[in-house]
Amino acid sequence: MFKRPLQIGLYLIKPRQLALATVIFLASALVAGNLSASTKRVVRAKPVTQEIPTNQKTVPPVRATPPAVEPSQLQVDPLESPYPVPWNWVMSTHEQVSSTKGSGVRFYRTPSVISPDGKYAAYSRVQLQVKPELYKSHVSSVMFVENLQTKQLRVVTASSPLANNPNKAKEAGDMPGIVTILIPVSWSASGDRLLARQFEGSLSASDASDYAVVWDRNSGRSKTISPSNAGEFGQAILLGWSKVNPQDVIFQAGELGDENRQLWAVNIQGKTIAAKQEDQPIVFGQTVKQAWAGPQVSW
């Protein structure tokens, strides 16, 4: 039934035209094949990948290291601590105030560390008393623990040599040139204890060291500890809770500029032993920034 139209069509096409059409068809197929192969090679050479934005923030239950910050927000810590005191703010604020007004008082609020159960927040108010000469200025702090449900505030204090206690009379920590800053570092995994860094130093010398303040949420009492052999090394740097023994605190101790500082585990009674090889510091809680509000402003 279909043979006759096909034969008539073939008879209408001349041999030269048929040959030319065949050449054009083969050339088109060859070009199409090359383009297809080229496209496949490009896809293999440049596979499509999905990049994860670096600015996405998650809040893991455990922080092995402090949260990353932008380079412009990096704090220069005198001890190069992973939980820096606001040293940049102290230096820049002193320069600004002393060059314009000569003297004055300025305040700084640290970020809050929220307990794992979300019920408590710990933060500090740092006070800088500016004098024209840096070595006559003074830096102190008050650390608060706030019940986020009742808004009740508690003050946590250290008992280290230069600790600032607002409930006591003038002490050594009130002397000009002294820096004594208490800032929160971590909650325990269950949120029943708070670990804070007590930094003590001088505005006119390189002598400085850390103490650990462990505050018990149930009893409301705090304990100040440091490596019992810290005097042999010159400086101690608080790093966090012990991963092996969560009741202990990990310090790094050594001389200024020493790159091979040893890790030490200190229990709540101050007993100090060399940290085990598999041990490492660990911290818990979410760090957030908040504006000043409430009675702590005028404490």
What is each CA distance from 105 to 39, 71, 166, 169, in whole angstroms?
A: 68, 28, 16, 20
Task: Report the pLDDT value the prediction gives residue 171, as an integer from 0 to 100.
Answer: 61
| Domain enclosing residue 87, as ranges | 76-285
pLDDT at position 102 is 94
* CA angle, residues 264, 268, 270, in degrees to nearest 5: 55
pLDDT digits (tens, 9 = 90+) for 129-140: 999 999 999 999
Is residue 27 in a domain?
Answer: no
Q: Confidence band (pLDDT; 50, 70, 90) for 7?
A: very low
- Band the pLDDT of 19: cuts 50, 70, 90: very low
Does the structure show a pLDDT above 80 at 89?
Answer: yes
The confidence band for 230, taking pLDDT boundaries of 50, 70 and 90, is low
Domain count, the chain: 1
Task: Please state, as a whole number, how many other Cβ atoms lie within 10 Å of the Cβ of residue 157.
Answer: 21
Whether residue 47 lies inside any domain: the answer is no
pLDDT band at 204 (very low <50, low <70, confident <90, very high): confident
Q: What is the mean pLDDT of residues 28-34?
A: 44
Say if 22 falls within a structural domain: no
- 193 part of a folded domain: yes
pLDDT in tens, 44-77: 333 333 333 333 333 345 554 444 444 345 568 9
pLDDT in tens, 148-174: 999 999 999 999 999 876 555 556 667
Domain assignment present for residue 64? The answer is no
pTM of the entire predicted model: 0.73
Amino acid at 260: N
Using pLDDT thresholds of 50, 70 and 90, give the confidence band for residue 205: confident
All residues at 6 or more sequence positions from 218 whose CB lies less than 8 Å from its CB, including other chains? 192
231: pLDDT confidence band, cut at 50, 70 and 90?
low
Apex 213 CA angle, 91 and 166, nearest 5 = 65
| Average pLDDT of the chain, as a whole number | 78
Residue 292: inside a domain: no
Gap between the Cα atoms of 171 and 168, Å rounded: 8
Rank 36-50, 64-78, 237-251 by mean pLDDT and report only the highest: 237-251
What per-residue confidence (pLDDT) applies to 174?
74
pLDDT surpasses 50 at 110: yes
Residues 288-299: pLDDT tens digits? 986 555 444 444
Residue 39 lies in a domain: no
The percentage of the chain sitting over the pLDDT mark of 90, rounded to a whole number, equals 59
Q: What is the pLDDT of residue 209?
A: 95
**Structural domain contains residue 23:** no
pLDDT on residue 167: 58
